[in-house]
Amino acid sequence: MDLESLLPTLLGLAWLLPLASFAVILFAGPRLGSHGKGAAGVATAAIVGSFVLSLFAFISWIAQHPVRAVAHGDHGAAHASADPAHGATDHADASHASAAAHDEHGGQHGESAAHAGSPVHYSGDWYTLYEGGRLKLSIGWYVDALTVLMFVMITFIATCIHVYASGYMHDELHDITDHEVHLADGGHLHRPGRFHRFFQALSLFCFSMLGIVIAGNLAMVFIFWELVGICSWFLIGFYYERKSASNAANKAFIVNRIGDFGMLIGLMALWGALGTLHFADATGPDGHVRPGLFTLVRPPVAGHAQWVPDGMVKFAAAEKVERVLLSHADDPRAGVEQVEAKVEDWRDEGYGRWLLLVAGLGIFCGCIGKSAQFPLFVWLPDAMEGPTPVSALVHSATMVAAGVYLTGRFYPVLTPDALLVIAYVGAITLFIAATIALVANDIKRVLAYSTVSQLGYMMLALGVGGWLAGLFHLVTHAFFKSLLFLCSGSVIHACHTNDMRKMGGLAKAMPWTSGTMLVGCLAIIGAGVPFLDIGLSGYYSKDSILAQALLFARENPAHSILFYAVAGGAMLTAFYMFRLWFMTFAGKPRDHHVHEHAHESPPVMVYPLVALSILAVVAGWTLPGGFGIANMIEQARPAGTGGLELGGLLFSAFTVPAEHASHAHDIHVTASLTAFATAATGVLLAALMYVWGIIPPAMVASAVKPLYTFLANRWYFDEIYRFLFVLPVLGLSQLVSGTDKGVIDRMIEGLAWGAKQVAGFDAWIDRTLIDGLVNGTASATYSAGLELKKLQTGQLRQYVMFIALGTVAIFVLAGLLFRSSFAG
């Protein structure tokens, strides 16, 4: 079977297996084993199946498309002179030249993918939801190296977490007394366990997440985007009896809606102007090729340089189009031709550039919500109310990375202005989140803010032109962050508290957990040896981000703050991660009660830690010969995004530098040294404060008390949002409900009252007049009967008398009346 039909089959099955597991648990959940214990087995079997299928797809991919080093190598070595064609593009007018020179398909993907035509990809539709006119909605696939890699990454982490969760959630197998829920009678909530429901939601989540990754068009992305949103809601609110959990779930859902609103605007802009949401070109049954988004925005005709698609130009210049068509009213065909001829002029005049920007920023809005970027990051720390395996899978490794993934997938459509916005949003996010993480005491919250901060890194990397750096960091981060969360879950499992101030000295009690967590911490701070270029996974990804940010800062001195944000963020990361590790595992126990009960977690929870820690170490490595995650992602680089791009619609002109230029020796070395120095400073500072106690943390806190309070209160974001948005909305809704109750209800009640009065009057008329008439007739008849019955004396003789006299009277009367006739 060739790859074209093999990959959709394999990945499609891998995608649907968790759905099957969801269905099985949904319908047979509590009957699977005792107390639904079998649910874990079903879900784990499904995700393991997905992993095996993904791995098979991965192997067949690399067999067909060998992953080799890109022309410029990935670290060090000679770059600029290695390939004259690429060298020429370094500072020339962008992709026009480069892509034209390398417009090739298939064949030597490994080498040419970076700057050549479209990357190797397979796309198609499984099922068409709707088709009318030029609009088509479908469930389809878009598979390239990135998709395959994401499948393996997601299913691997999900497998680890399923195994881990089957140990972590064992409490849910029996009835549970939730000590965090205080009932009105002072007691605690007692409820049945929900083991199977956890795995049911987890399976649905895996299905939805894989759906986003495999999606062949933005509409499908949006569908699964919302599905992961609802799964996140289920899982954050897993302990929904706790007020904090249900609030956190609602907060996550509502905050994400805000971002999704922007995403809808982006979708509408694309669909309205271009009439397609497909990523790739599609060949219809009639052999007609419908160009996808990527082709429309970066057509091969223009050498894969970004331009405003015809549809958007015409859409934006609708008035001019109308005028031209009207002037050719007698010959519509000539009018259409005239419009087509003028599109080029209008494009040069700048029509549609704003529309393209709005489309890009709109889609990015959805990513802001999902990937917890400033200003919508407030939901993610609260989302830690969910069980820890959920935090590890959904809220650090996969779902929140979906925003970064989509930004990366959607990269060709983003204009330089949009990229700069993304970079700044990322920079602000990474800085704010890192500062808050410095003072957080809840172990999971530190990790949550760290996640937000790292997502900021990825966004910044994408924004400054580091497409590969951002997505590379996405993959490596997924491994070490899920590892960190699972370690924290293991600690919480042992200590029954989230508060780091009660921990300390746990390294002896939990050797495996502390060891693997140390690996995770080292990976996240990007530990490595600068000149030997050896390090943990984070070292490579973070270095490439730093290098790209540095390059961007050099090209655009006005934006050098982006580099300082990254460098400063690296130091903060190192500080808070090691603060976490030292406070938890090093030093002396602070709370003996906690310390005595601490124990290593069961093997079912430790194995995933080990597996993930191995990947946290090696995920960034590039094997001799070029095989490595970075080079594999490079295979999927969208056409035309390797070169320089000039911006300047929103901001004064700036340059988005080509990514391979960041591999230049001086940039690379400066970046690695900066990374090493900042990380070492951070770790040293943490050690000084929390291990050796040379600088007592309490003293620091009191020395900068206002700042400390500011950070401890999370920059007062929740309070500001409460004041700015929540309270006005509540006030407005109170006003509306007041209007409803005070005006509309009153009006309706008044109408009802009026109707009641009318009815009362009507009833009165009915009772008095009509009933009176009827009753009066009846009683008159009755009394007449009473009177008449007196005639019925029963005296026979009297009757005879009456008859006789009556007869006589009749004769008398008749005689009087007819006298004349008698008389003749």
In the complex, which residues of this chain contact another protein (CB under 8 A)?
Answer: 788-797, 800-801, 804, 811, 814-815, 821-822, 824
656: helix, strand or coil: strand
Q: Tell me if 122 sits within 8 A of 11, measured CB to CB.
A: no
Pairing of strands 176-182, 188-191: antiparallel
CB of 769 to another protein, least distance (A): 33
Q: How far is the CB of 791 from another protein (least distance, A)?
A: 7
Residue 778 or 814: the one with the smaller Cβ distance to another protein is: 814
542: left (phi over 0), alpha (psi -120 to 50) or beta: alpha
**What is the helix (H) or strand (E) element at residue 731, kind and residue range?**
helix 727-739
**Shortest separation between residue 822's beta carbon and another protein, angstroms:** 7
Of 699 and 788, which has the nearer Cβ to another protein?
788
Alpha carbon distance 428, 456 (integer Å): 8
Q: 459 and 423 in contact (C-beta within 8 Å)?
A: yes
Residue whose C-alpha is closest to residue 622's, from 631, 611, 634: 631
The residue (of 725 and 782) whose beta carbon lies closer to another protein is 782
Sequence-distant contacts of 664-671: CB under 8 A, at least 24 apart: 664/79, 664/80, 664/551, 665/76, 665/79, 667/547, 667/550, 667/551, 667/554, 668/75, 668/76, 668/543, 668/547, 669/530, 669/531, 670/547, 670/550, 671/543, 671/546, 671/547, 671/549, 671/550
Residue 620 contacts by C-beta under 8 Å, 6 or more apart in sequence? Answer: 472, 476, 535, 536, 537, 538, 539, 540, 541, 628, 629, 630
What are 141's strand-pairing partners?
124, 215
Minimum distance from CB of 794 to another protein (Å)? 3
d(CA 581, CA 682): 13
Q: Tell the smallest beta-carbon distance from residue 811 to another protein (Å).
A: 5
Closer to another protein by Cβ: residue 130 or 822: 822
Write down the least CB distance from residue 777 to another protein, Å: 21
Residue 529 vs 808, nearer CB to another protein = 808
DSSP state of 442: B
Looking at residue 499, the DSSP 8-state letter turns out to be: B
Cα separation, 704 vs 711, in Å, equals 11
The smaller minimum CB distance to another protein, of residues 81 and 821, is found at 821
Q: Are strands 176-182 and 655-656 parallel, antiparallel or unpaired?
A: unpaired
Cα dist from 92 to 55, 98, 146, 645, 658, whole Å:
41, 9, 28, 10, 11
Nearer to another protein, 558 or 816 (CB): 816
Helix axes 443-463, 467-495, angle to 10 degrees: 180
Nearer Cβ to another protein (179/790): 790
Q: Which two tokens stand for residue 601?
A: 């977690």
Q: Which residues of 157-192 are buried (b: 16+ CB within 10 A; e: fewer)?
A: bbbbbbbbbbbbbbebbeebeeeebeeeeeeeeeee
Comparing CB distances to another protein, the nearer of 747 and 786 is 786
Smallest separation (angstroms) from another protein to the CB of 779? 18
CB of 775 to another protein, least distance (A): 23
| Gyration radius from the chain CA atoms | 38
8 Å CB contact between 144 and 119: yes
* Shortest separation between residue 776's beta carbon and another protein, angstroms: 23
Nearer to another protein, 760 or 815 (CB): 815
CB of 773 to another protein, least distance (A): 27
d(CA 500, CA 640): 48
Distance CA 733, CA 728 (A): 8
Nearer to another protein (CB atom), residue 666 or residue 787: 787
| Residue whose CB is less far from another protein, 128 or 795 | 795
Choose between 1 and 823: whose C-beta lies nearer to another protein: 823
In whole angstroms, the minimum distance from the beta carbon of 821 to another protein comes to 8
Coil vs helix vs strand at 628: strand
- Closest CB 757 distance from another protein, rounded Å: 48
- With 0-12 / 13-18 / 19 or more C-beta atoms within 10 angstroms meaning exposed / middle / buried, residue 26 is middle
Give the shortest CB-800-to-another protein separation in angstroms.
4
Place of tokens 């999902």: 370
To which residue do tokens 């057509």 refer? 299
- Kindly tell me which of 558 and 796 has the beta carbon lying closer to another protein: 796
Q: Is 533 exposed, middle or buried (0-12, 13-18, 19+ CB in 10 A)?
A: middle
Q: What is the largest CA-CA distance in the chain?
A: 160
Q: Which is nearer to another protein, 727 or 810 (CB)?
A: 810
Cβ-based nearer residue to another protein, 757 or 793: 793
List the beta strands (DSSP E) in 200-331. 282-283, 289-290
**CB closer to another protein out of 652 and 792:** 792
In the complex, the smallest distance separating the C-beta of residue 783 from another protein, rounded to whole angstroms, is 13
Q: Nearest-CA neighbor of 12 among 129, 141, 185, 124?
A: 141
Report the alpha-carbon distance of residue 435 to residue 710 in Å, rounded. 10
CA angle in degrees (0–180, nearest 5) for 609-614-618: 145
Backbone angles phi, psi at 685, to 5 degrees: -60, -45
The nearer residue to another protein, 350 or 815, going by C-beta atoms, is 815
Could you tell me the smallest distance in angstroms from the CB atom of residue 778 to another protein? Answer: 19
d(C-alpha 192, C-alpha 757), whole Å:
55
